[in-house]
């Protein structure tokens, strides 16, 4: 069932009028929910309610955002291995034969340090970390789903442009790749994915040290 949403300008104006302590409190609650989820606890609070100066402010929680996203459009989970995909699932430069086929590669770099690779071939994209990362780490979860006050990257792009996504996990549940498929993206959306993935993989890898 589709739900009416407020115009973007209205939401933006409302957020600008909120005191900074409201955002800090929402951020704190989101972080607590993410930690609870990582401990295997079931999240049941889908809406936050905050009272400030006689004013009651409500907002979707981290769990609420995930629930809304999954109810609107559940990403398809494709059975199979990386051989299912036309696009190479590689963190290193691919051989010239792949480039001739139309593969484009975008390194995930920060200060000359590599954190992985984004590969694109026609209507498929693979986003591959330098080494497998915890798929439940807050940075990776933000990149895929976002939080109640921090818009993510993968889910919004897929919803806006009509793509689907799939996670390639290793035997320990660590993320080997994120696959987006179903429609070719423009350079602007590729840049958004590159920037978001670089930050998320960098932060996740540093957390694991």
- 100-112: buried (b, 16+ CB within 10 Å) or exposed (e) per residue? eeebebbebeeee
Range(s) of the domain holding residue 201: 82-207
**pLDDT surpasses 50 at 96:** yes
**Could you give the number of structural domains in the chain?**
2
* Shared domain check, 171 and 118: yes
| Final residue belonging to a domain, choices 30, 53, 72 | 72
* 14 and 90 inside one domain: no
What is the per-residue burial (b if ≥16 Cβ within 10 Å, else e) of 27-43? eebbeebbeebeeeeeb
User: Can you point out the beta strands (E) in 13-123?
Assistant: 47-52, 55-60, 104-110, 113-121
The reply to whether 159 falls in a domain is yes
Same domain, 66 and 87: no
Q: Would you say residue 142 lies in a domain?
A: yes
Domain-located, residue 132: yes
30 with 95, same domain: the answer is no
C-alpha span between 193 and 199 (Å, rounded): 10
Q: Per residue in 16-67, pLDDT tens?
A: 455 677 677 777 887 787 777 767 777 777 776 777 677 776 766 666 666 6
Cα angle 40-180-153, degrees, rounded to a multiple of 5: 65
Q: Are residues 95 and 59 in the same domain?
A: no
pLDDT band at 9; cut points 50, 70, 90: very low
The model's pTM is: 0.63
């Amino acid at each position: 069932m589709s739900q009416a949403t407020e115009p973007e300008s209205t939401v933006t104006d409302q957020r600008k009028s909120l005191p900074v302590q409201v955002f800090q409190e929402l951020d704190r609650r989101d972080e607590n929910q993410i930690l609870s989820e990582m401990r295997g606890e079931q999240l049941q609070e889908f809406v936050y309610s905050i009272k400030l100066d006689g004013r009651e402010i409500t907002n979707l929680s981290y769990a609420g955002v995930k629930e809304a996203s999954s109810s609107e459009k559940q990403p398809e989970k494709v059975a199979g291995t990386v051989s299912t995909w036309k696009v190479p699932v590689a963190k290193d430069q691919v051989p010239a034969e792949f480039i001739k086929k139309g593969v484009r590669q975008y390194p995930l770099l920060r200060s000359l340090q590599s954190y992985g690779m984004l590969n694109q071939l026609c209507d498929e994209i693979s986003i591959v970390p330098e080494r497998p990362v915890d798929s439940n780490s807050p940075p990776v979860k933000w990149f895929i789903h976002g939080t109640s006050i921090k818009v993510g990257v993968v889910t919004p792009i897929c919803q806006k442009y009509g793509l689907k996504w799939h996670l390639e996990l290793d035997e320990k549940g660590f993320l080997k790749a994120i696959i987006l498929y179903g429609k070719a993206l423009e350079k602007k959306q590729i840049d958004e994915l590159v920037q978001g993935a670089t930050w998320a993989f960098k932060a996740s890898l540093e957390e694991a040290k």
